[in-house]
């Protein structure tokens, strides 16, 4: 492994400079970090051909051996944690402490799926015919196209890559244009630990929609795993219908964060900080709509503002920073527009000030008096803005929470055990945090319902989408 930043495409075990390059810049100040290969269709064809060529060999390789390589890749990530985290902070802007947490989170998927590779069990079914034996085996689905977002460049890759390789699939990955360097750094480590050529390929692109569309349309690709916007996910699903490709979609969120009157308010504030401000508010699981039962609304807002006011906004590389820059200027404009709309429609600014559009560093804002007519009630904010609305009762809080087409995650704070269960069951979401602001972990199924997506990542369920069931009926008499 070299010390320099890898910027070439990685195809069939070779680093390809290509004929065109695109710049990757630090979102804090637009400093150039690297010039990266702008892959073209010929490169995609080569990557897909390699993934298809090695698939039969990789799939037949004993699962413990595949798992061991994944484990080794996870261990290498951890042993190079600081270097990988610094690269992540540079290309994504996130605070260094969060970048370190992301490297650990990403490595945990490789370790988890590395172990899980040996547990991809089949079934034996009792037959009604005594002369038959019925078995079910789980077979790797084939070469997979993986499209990852910029907000967690390592973890969103390894959550897919780990499951795919454990199952015996091969992968062609297209990272987000803003953050291809982490994916290329991982390919470098994969080469180093001895992953065979062609098993994991990376095709960076500055015209991701077009090249990604080309990649997904290749007939050898049998499964697509995408994390990104609902609109793009819907288009991918439509296009995948032509070849009936399997699709996993991890899409947008609009998470409610409910604080009921009997909640431990200090715990709720601590949970709110994690659920809202991780990655400067740029996560699909970010708490987007705070719904607080009326009797404790003022007390919660006061404690929340006191805690939020202490967060340090600054350059991600400074160890004290809690909130780094948002990814680009269009993110600033979107956030500013949502805050502006809310204030014009009557929201009260409890803390902070609307962004002035001059910097990507957005100081956290707390808004109260949110109503459903405000755009931020329906829109994924993806920035450090807290929107507070009150509810008169538990039932009203649930109704408000479910008033969205999204259903990725929901959070609820209450001390009452029966309420915890009742509200968690009533919330329309794929995941629920009960007195917990961070649900993401390798062992648990991550994914949404409604417009938040299809399929699950992480956990043993995360492997299911990379396998086909094959039923075998054998006559023995």
Q: Annotated catalytic sites, by residue? A: 250, 284
Task: Please give the order of strands across the beta sheet that includes 453-454.
Answer: 14-16, 9-11, 200-202, 171-174, 144-147, 223-227, 246-250, 453-454
Q: Cα–Cα distances in Å, from 125 out to 131, 134, 135?
A: 13, 5, 6
Q: Give me the sign of the Cα torsion angle 72, 75, 80, 85.
A: positive
The answer to whether residue 110 forms part of the interface with ligand SIN (CB under 6 A) is: no
Closer CB to ligand SIN, 170 or 440, in the complex = 440
The answer to whether residue 404 forms part of the interface with ligand SIN (CB under 6 A) is: no
Q: CB under 6 A: which stretch of 130-138, 139-147, 281-289, 416-424 binds ligand SIN?
A: 281-289
Q: To the nearest whole angstrom, how small is the minimum distance from the Cβ of residue 200 to ligand SIN?
A: 20
- What span, in angstroms and rounded, lies between the C-alpha atoms of 327 and 8? 23
Closer CB to ligand SIN, 270 or 444, in the complex = 444
Exposure letters 336-353 (e unless 16+ CB within 10 A, then b):
bbbbeebbeeebeebbbe
Question: How many chain residues bind ligand SIN (CB under 6 A)?
Answer: 10
Closer CB to ligand SIN, 180 or 228, in the complex = 228
Of 285, 297, 442, 463, the one binding ligand SIN (CB under 6 A) is: 285
Kindly provide the residue ranges of all beta strands, DSSP E only, lying in 246-331, ordered along the sequence. 246-250, 255-259, 287-293
Q: Which of residues 65-104 bind ligand SIN (CB under 6 A)?
A: none
Q: To the nearest whole angstrom, how small is the minimum distance from the Cβ of residue 297 to ligand SIN?
A: 28
Q: Which of residues 356-375 bind ligand SIN (CB under 6 A)?
A: none
Q: How far does the chain reach from its first CA to its final CA, in angstroms?
A: 57
| Nearest alpha-carbon partner for 91 in 20, 159, 34, 160 | 34
Q: Which of residues 435-464 bind ligand SIN (CB under 6 A)?
A: 440
Q: Cα–Cα distances in Å, from 65 out to 23, 117, 244, 455?
A: 38, 9, 31, 27
Of 72, 205, 227, 400, the one binding ligand SIN (CB under 6 A) is: 227
Closer CB to ligand SIN, 58 or 152, in the complex = 152
Q: Which of residues 250-279 bind ligand SIN (CB under 6 A)?
A: 250
| Nearest alpha-carbon partner for 352 in 388, 390, 308, 295 | 308
- What span, in angstroms and rounded, lies between the C-alpha atoms of 127 and 121? 19
The answer to whether residue 283 forms part of the interface with ligand SIN (CB under 6 A) is: yes
The answer to whether residue 152 forms part of the interface with ligand SIN (CB under 6 A) is: yes
| Closest residue by beta carbon to ligand SIN | 440
Q: What pairing do the DSSP bridges indicate for beta strands 348-351 and 287-293?
A: unpaired
Q: To the nearest whole angstrom, how small is the minimum distance from the Cβ of residue 268 to ligand SIN?
A: 19
- Contacts with ligand SIN by CB under 6 A lie at 151-152, 155-156, 227, 250, 283-285, 440
């Amino acid at each position: 492994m070299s010390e320099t930043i890898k910027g070439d495409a990685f195809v069939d075990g070779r680093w390809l400079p290509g004929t065109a390059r695109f710049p990757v810049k630090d979102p804090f100040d637009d400093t150039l970090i690297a010039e990266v290969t702008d892959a073209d269709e010929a490169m995609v064809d080569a990557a897909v051909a390699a993934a298809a060529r090695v698939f039969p060999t990789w799939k037949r390789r004993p699962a413990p051996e595949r798992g061991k390589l994944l484990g080794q890749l996870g261990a290498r990530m951890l042993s190079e944690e600081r270097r990988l985290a610094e690269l992540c902070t540079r290309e994504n802007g996130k605070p260094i402490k969060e970048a370190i947490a992301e490297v650990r989170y990403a490595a945990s998927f490789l370790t988890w799926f590395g172990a899980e590779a040996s547990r991809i069990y089949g079934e034996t079914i009792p037959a009604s015919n005594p002369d038959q034996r019925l078995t079910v085996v789980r077979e790797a689905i084939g070469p997979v196209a993986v499209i990852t977002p910029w907000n967690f460049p390592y973890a969103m890759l390894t959550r897919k890559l780990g499951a795919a390789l454990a199952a015996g699939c091969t992968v062609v990955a297209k990272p987000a244009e803003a953050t291809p360097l982490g994916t290329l750094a991982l390919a470098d480590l994969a080469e180093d630990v001895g992953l065979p050529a062609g098993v994991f390929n990376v095709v960076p692109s500055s015209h991701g929609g077009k090249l990604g569309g080309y990649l997904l349309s290749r007939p050898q690709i049998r499964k697509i795993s995408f994390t990104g916007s609902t609109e793009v996910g819907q288009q991918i699903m439509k296009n995948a219908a032509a070849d009936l490709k399997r699709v996993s979609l991890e899409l947008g969120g609009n998470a409610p964060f409910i604080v009921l009157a009997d909640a431990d308010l200090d715990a709720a504030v601590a949970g709110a900080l994690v659920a809202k401000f991780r990655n400067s508010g740029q996560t699909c699981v970010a708490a987007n709509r705070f719904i607080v039962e009326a009797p404790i609304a003022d007390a919660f807002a006061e404690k929340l503002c006191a805690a939020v006011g202490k967060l340090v906004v600054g350059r991600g590389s400074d160890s004290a920073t809690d909130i780094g820059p948002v990814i680009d200027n269009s993110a600033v404009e979107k956030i500013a527009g949502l805050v502006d709309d809310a204030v014009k429609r009557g929201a009260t600014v409890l803390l902070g000030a609307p962004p002035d559009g001059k910097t990507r560093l957005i100081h956290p804002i707390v808004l109260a008096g949110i109503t459903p007519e405000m755009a931020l009630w329906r829109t994924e904010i993806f920035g450090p803005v807290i929107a507070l609305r009150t509810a008169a009762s538990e039932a009203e809080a649930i109704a408000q929470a479910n008033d969205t087409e999204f259903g990725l995650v929901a959070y609820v704070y209450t001390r009452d055990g029966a309420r915890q269960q009742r509200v968690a069951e009533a919330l329309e979401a794929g995941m629920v945090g009960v007195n917990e602001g961070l649900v993401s972990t390798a062992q648990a199924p991550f994914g949404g319902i409604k417009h938040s997506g299809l399929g699950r990542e992480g956990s043993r369920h995360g492997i299911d989408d990379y396998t086909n069931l094959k039923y075998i009926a054998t006559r023995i008499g």
